[in-house]
Structure 1
């Protein structure tokens, strides 16, 4: 089973992926997670915005390599979980997934969580706004996307509901 998890930065994508891989492994499945961030082009090849690297652009991701790894992992694992901001951007990659989970949070929750995220040091307000707007433009699943479950990332995940969807 190939599972995609998409959502804005700090929505809980990695948390959900970790919960799922733990669940599947406890149930005897060979499961793995990989992060779309692992498929970022070298910084010199990524677009800039106001002299900052625009990590929030789909042009920062090597989707061809992403798809190659999806196909390779599908042959080696029972469950492959791929998470990232642009999980639903590339239609040819999205078409490979059996199940799709979209983690939705409000802009207010995003701003609160992002302000507490100090991994990258200080980020100017305009850049944090850019992250949100880029997600709105490129990260949201299209209305035509089939077999997708939208779940709230505001609080703890309803894992029973998620597992029920995945087991269909």
Structure 2
């Protein structure tokens, strides 16, 4: 099974992917996660916005390499999970997903979580706004023409609902 998990920055995509991989492994399945962040181009090759690297551009991700790696691993694992801001952006990935989960949070929750995120140092307010606008433009599931499950990333995930979706 190939599962795509998408949603805005700080919505809980990685957390959900980790919960799922743990669940599948506990149930005897070979499961692995691929984080789109691990497939970014070198910073010098990524577009800029106001002299800042635009990590929120789909041009920041090496979609060809991700697709190549996933194609190889899906033959060797029972469950392969791809999670990322642009999980639903590449039509080639959308064509091979078995299941899609969109993790939704409010703009307020996003702003609060992003303000607490100190991994990258200070993030200007205009860039936080840019991240949200990029998500609205390129990260929402309206770009996919197939079914998906919407999961709330506001609090704890409803794992019963999510696992029910994955089992059907």
TM-score over 0.5 for the pair: yes
Separation in 1 of the partners of 2:124 and 2:75? 43
Q: 2:151 maps to what in 1? A: 151
Separation in 1 of the partners of 2:165 and 2:131? 29
Separation in 2 of the partners of 1:54 and 1:150? 27
Q: Deviations over 1:56-92 (max 9, x none)?
A: 0001011111111111110110000110000000111
The 10-residue stretch of structure 1 (89-98 or 136-145) with the greater mean CA deviation from structure 2: 136-145
Indicate how the Cα distance of structure 1 residues 144 and 64 shifts in structure 2: closer, same or farther if over 3 A, else same.
closer
Separation in 2 of the partners of 1:21 and 1:67? 20
SS at match of 2:141: coil
Matched positions, count? 168
Runs of 4+ in 1 over 4 A off after TM superposition: none
| RMSD across aligned positions (CA) | 0.8
The 10-residue stretch of structure 1 (23-32 or 144-153) with the greater mean CA deviation from structure 2: 144-153
Q: Which ranges in structure 1 are unaligned for 5 or more consecutive residues?
A: none
The two structures have a TM-score, normalised by structure 1, of 0.98
Q: 1:123 maps to what in 2? A: 123
Separation in 2 of the partners of 1:117 and 1:157? 21
- Residue 144 of structure 1 deviates from its aligned partner by 4.9
SS at match of 1:76: coil
Separation in 2 of the partners of 1:152 and 1:37? 22
